[in-house]
Amino acid sequence: MSKTIAVIGGTGAQGFPIVKRLLAAGPDGSPSPWKVRVLTRDPTHHRAKKLEALGAEILQGSFLDREVIGKLFDGAYGAFVNTDTHTVGAEAETTAAFVIALNIILTNQRQWELANWYKVRHFVWSNLEYTLRTGGYNPRYNVQNHLGKGRFGAFLAAQPAPVDGEGTVWTNFTANVYMEMLNLLMVPEVQPDGTRVFFGPMNEDSAIWLVSQDDMAWWARYIFDNFELTAGQELKIVSGQWTLREIAETFTKVTGIPATYRLLTMDEYFSLWNGKEVPFATGLPVEQGGLSWEDHFRCWWAVRRDNVLKRDMNWIRSVHPGATTLEQWMRDNKYDGTLPQQVRQWLLKGNEDHIGIRRKKLATLDARSF
């Protein structure tokens, strides 16, 4: 008999492929052991409609609504919870003394308590590394979505995980930068002669951990299919790590199109963006204590520039030998280093709120050596 997994964030860039994978048949063609119930604010959204057509149950509401969360968790065996920092920051129920990340903690502790009350057996938290702590509490690494998710991940790690009991057991699903961000924030500049220039506020040896959406979906299914191996564990998942030089070299290898890379300072990089003063959290204006888009991404890039994050690729490949390589991803997606039409409508579903953010031409900067 199929068991139900309740999903928060199921129509987003991460959750959408995960729900599809949970509903998919096994490698041998056998039916999936999982049913999926997806919470969404807009059941008429095309992604919600697609998931419904695949067999997902769609429930309308907000993850901040206790009554709705009760309906979502009721009768569910498992939960995959990916809250949206942009949305949570808009909530007026938390005091101005709390940073936006603490809003997430308070909300998600309530979800954890409700999960226990409704006897959800396996609670999987879509986590991000607590970069402020990993970086020795240096404020340059205070990435807002990492802060909120990472703090709550630390809270979960302090909870019991009774594999042989009846209570709710947690797993931290710690992801990283989507490989698909090469279609958005990290898309290269196209020069007049067609050369693609990959760039960022990085050092020569700075490398970015990336994870493909396919790999995230694989790991989510693996976690639910292997309860005893993953209960009470943090799985730090990635597909691999690449420098800007390696990204450019791989691109040319795959496409035959000339590519190079450019290392910028923080100030040079952010001079390329219009609208960067908008608030990172949609409902928390900068004048009310929120961070701007630029402030957030200065911290985000600093984490990558300084190689703060570490991952165990030997373990990852031992569990998932088919992890996506950058070359494979580029080939499978026919990646040509330009912004796809569908991505022009934004990869991350909530980015309509940041519609004013646009990148200027790289040529506006003085020439630097590659």
Which class for 288: exposed (0-12), middle (13-18), buried (19 or more C-beta within 10 A)? exposed
- Residue 222: the pLDDT is 98
* Ranges of the chain with pLDDT below 70: 85-118, 282-284, 289, 341-370
Cβ 102 vs Cβ 148: under 8 Å? yes
pLDDT at 276: 87
Identify the pLDDT of residue 354: 45
Cα torsion 50, 54, 59, 63 to 10°: value is: -80
Residue 117: the pLDDT is: 57
**pLDDT single digits (tens) 123-170:** 999 999 999 999 999 999 998 888 878 888 888 898 888 888 777 889
Amino acid 361: pLDDT: 65
**Whole-number pLDDT of residue 90:** 27
Helix ranges (DSSP H) in the chain: 15-23, 46-53, 66-73, 85-88, 100-117, 131-134, 144-157, 213-225, 227-230, 244-255, 266-270, 293-305, 313-319, 326-332, 341-344
* Other beta carbons within 10 Å of 260: 18
d(CA 176, CA 146): 10
Burial class (CB in 10 A: 0-12, 13-18, 19+), 368: exposed
- On whether the pTM is more than 0.85, the answer is yes
**Model confidence pLDDT, tens digit, residues 211-256:** 999 999 999 999 999 999 999 999 999 999 999 999 999 999 999 9
List CB contacts of 335: < 8 A, sequence separation 6 or more.
182, 183, 251, 254, 255, 329
| Residue 368: predicted pLDDT | 42
